[in-house]
Structure 1
Amino acid sequence: MNVKNFVVESIDEMKNKVTWPKYSSLQSNAVLVLVASLIFAVVIGLINLGFENIMKWFYDLF
């Protein structure tokens, strides 16, 4: 298989065989990912803060 044939077939597949999402679906999924990322960041931040406070308390005992 030569490179030209590979490129031509790849372009054909991207144009005719790939199902691309609608813009509204893409937008709503992007918002969903953003919100989920923010929620995970807050949860991990709270866990980190709690762990930091527990470690400070533990080390202050000694």
Structure 2
Amino acid sequence: MTVINYIKESFDELKNNVTWPTWADAQKLMVTVAVFSILFSLATWGVDTVFTKLIGLYFDLIG
């Protein structure tokens, strides 16, 4: 199988066999991804802040 043949078959697969979401569904999914991305980044920031303070306290105690 050549690379050109592979690309043609991949394009055909995407064009004919994949069910694409409607525009409204895509918008809902985008909002869901954005919300969870923001929540995950806030959770990561919170954990990072807590560990930074804990490590600072630990070094204050031993130093």
TM-score range, shorter chain: 0.7 to 0.9
Matches within 5 A, 1:1-62: 3=4, 7=8, 9-62=9-62
Task: Give the SS at the match of 1:34.
Answer: helix
TM score, norm. by length of structure 2: 0.79
* Residue ranges of structure 1 left out of the alignment (5+ in a row): none
Runs of 4+ more than 2 Å apart = 1-6, 9-16
Task: Give the SS at the match of 1:61.
Answer: helix
Structure 1 residue 30, shift from structure 2 partner: 0.7
Residues in 1 aligned to 2:29 and 2:46: alpha-carbon distance in whole angstroms: 26
Deviations 1:20-58 (A, max 9, x none): 110110111011001000000001100000000000000
Identity rate of aligned residues, in percent?
A: 33
CA RMSD of aligned residues (A): 2.0
